[in-house]
Amino acid sequence: MEGIESIRPLLAVAVSILAVPLIMLSSRKPNLREGWTFLAAGLKFLIVLSLLPLILDGGSYTLTIVQVLPGLGIKLRVDSFGILFALVSSSLWIVTSAYSIGYMRGLKEHSQTRYFCFFALSLSATIGVAFSANLLTLYLFYEMLSLATYPLVTHHQDAEARKSGRKYLAYIVGSSIGLVLPAMLAIYYLTGTLDFSYQGLFTGTESPLVILLLLLLMIFGFAKAGIMPFHSWLPAAMVAPTPVSALLHAVAVVKVGVFCIVRVVTGVFGVQFLQTLQLGTVLCYIAAFTIITASLIALAQDNLKARLAFSTVGQLSYIVLGVALLSPLGITGGMLHIAMHAFGKITLFFCAGAIFVATGFKNISQLNGIGRKMPFTMGAFFVGSMSVIGVPPGGGFISKWFLVLGTIESDQWIMLVVLLVSSILNAAYFLPIVYRAFFHPPGETGISTGMEEAPSFCLIPLMFTAFCSIVLLFFPQPFYSLAEQSVRMITQGW
């Protein structure tokens, strides 16, 4: 079906950019400032939601912003995979905006207006990536996201924040310029276009070695995906305020990385082409190494956000592994994991922030008995943990189920072992936290008698995302329908 020309994809991208001047002008009126934030977030979500019916019917929206060269332009296209990611990021921006009020005001953080401005810019870039029709547009929005999130990572403006910011830019921008840009130029030279096509852009006459090199440049160049050894920026970026860690480093930034990889694998190289060259196995082993290694490192972390960060590194590679299986069920699982992991992991980050706001505690060793004083927060932490581990009542069970089926469908039995072992490791680094919170007696570094739950603006969002994680186990729509439709398009071609 031909795409319908519409300005709505551009409006979905631009609405939060248009809110930035209003947020800046309201810097002396916090309630009005955050009101503009909520208005922009709500409008963005409603615009994305308005695109959904046609996409579910098998249609698409397109918009050419400017044609640069033949086969090369800045274009938007809304398809089932793109809107899946856009729904996740736009809906969770609303929740995170509410959480940000409780966190930033609760800690009396400085430069809150700047924080909300760059948050808005980051979400525009994220939706731009989701709706990109070609590699050039995706690359431009990817770089916009890198620059927009730098002030958020360095928000505290101390020595540690500046050091982490330099590492963040070195990995994120350095890899995209040094690896993705040359690969993109080579692809345009070889194919004459950068427009995504589920049939792939290559003719099959290219050297397999060249294709492998281009594939690896793309996989490692999109360093936001956290694939080892291009991963250490992510734990370093945890110096940012928790809402930044929650949305940008559990949903938007890191998911943009894996979204780009999935888009490149399916829309530039093509699943059938990679199957012919048997290159999916190479990606499987890269992802498997990251999954196991990150899980083992997470076990050794006492800092709660650091443990969540290394958990994220491993979980992102579940998505890469799913698409690397090059099987319908595996790709479905990978796409679903973008949504399921987002709701589970953002819950965990929200809980970490709520604990810090209420107690000032950052380390797991300090959480003895905290579940008795903060039962709602730690109950939500348990739900988020179950989702990330991949067992009920969390929605992560659905995506991991499809990933397991994908390994069987593609006869990748070693990858099946990797998934099962990693799930055990997930349980090993999450469940002891829950046990410590509810069953361990308070020690010298444990809870204080006057402790209570974090402010409502912190507590309600984490309860809501935990509830969503449970609901997604039983009602995984529309994410399942969108993932299934994407896989049909991949196997049949655009």
333/409 Cα distance (integer angstroms): 12
Model pLDDT for residues 161-203, shown as the tens digit of each residue? 788 778 888 888 888 899 999 999 999 999 989 999 888 888 8
Asked whether 225 and 254 are in contact (CB, 8 A), the reply is: yes
What local confidence, expressed as pLDDT, does residue 199 receive?
A: 85
Cα angle 476, 459, 19 (rounded to 5 degrees) comes to: 80
Q: Phi and psi of 75, rounded to 5°? A: -135, 155
Asked whether 198 and 494 are in contact (CB, 8 A), the reply is: yes
Mean pLDDT of 210-218: 94
Neighbouring residues of 379: CB distance < 8 A, sequence distance ≥ 6: 371, 466
- Res. 445: pLDDT tops 60: no
Task: Place 425 in a pLDDT band, splitting at 50, 70 and 90.
Answer: very high
Task: Place 494 in a pLDDT band, splitting at 50, 70 and 90.
Answer: very low
Mean pLDDT of 210-221: 94
Tokens of 306: 């650091």
Can you spell out the DSSP letters for 5-33?
Answer: E-SHHHHHHHHHHHHHHHHHHTTT-HHHH
Mean pLDDT of 274-295: 93
What local confidence, expressed as pLDDT, does residue 416 receive?
A: 95
Residue extents of the structural domains in the chain = 278-494
What local confidence, expressed as pLDDT, does residue 51 receive?
A: 95
- Res. 478: pLDDT tops 80: yes
124/358 Cα distance (integer angstroms): 32
DSSP-based three-state secondary structure for 303: strand
**C-alpha torsion sign, points 230, 348, 297, 412:** negative
Mean pLDDT of 228-250: 74
User: 39-48, 117-126, 153-162, 404-413: which has the minimum mean pLDDT?
Assistant: 153-162
Model pLDDT for residues 133-169, shown as the tens digit of each residue? 999 999 999 999 988 888 888 876 777 778 877 888 8
Cα dist. 341→26, 172, 255, 389, 406 in Å? Answer: 35, 22, 10, 10, 18
Cα angle 456, 155, 259 (rounded to 5 degrees) comes to: 85
Residue 177 gets which letter from DSSP? I
Around 217, how many Cα atoms within 13 Å sit in the side-chain half-sphere?
19
Asked whether 308 and 434 are in contact (CB, 8 A), the reply is: no
What local confidence, expressed as pLDDT, does residue 88 receive?
A: 92
Task: Place 248 in a pLDDT band, splitting at 50, 70 and 90.
Answer: low
Mean pLDDT of 424-434: 93
Give the global pTM.
0.93
What local confidence, expressed as pLDDT, does residue 268 receive?
A: 92
Nearest CA among 312, 344, 347, 304 for reference residue 96: 347
Neighbouring residues of 222: CB distance < 8 A, sequence distance ≥ 6: 142, 175, 176, 180, 257, 258, 260, 261, 264
Question: Residues for the chain: how many in total?
Answer: 494
Can you spell out the DSSP letters for 61-116?
Answer: EEEEEEEEETTEEEEEEE-HHHHHHHHHHHHHHHHHHHHHHHHHHHTT-S-HHHHH
412/52 Cα distance (integer angstroms): 34
- Res. 290: pLDDT tops 90: yes
What local confidence, expressed as pLDDT, does residue 109 receive?
A: 65
Mean pLDDT across the chain: 88
- Res. 285: pLDDT tops 90: yes
485/434 Cα distance (integer angstroms): 38
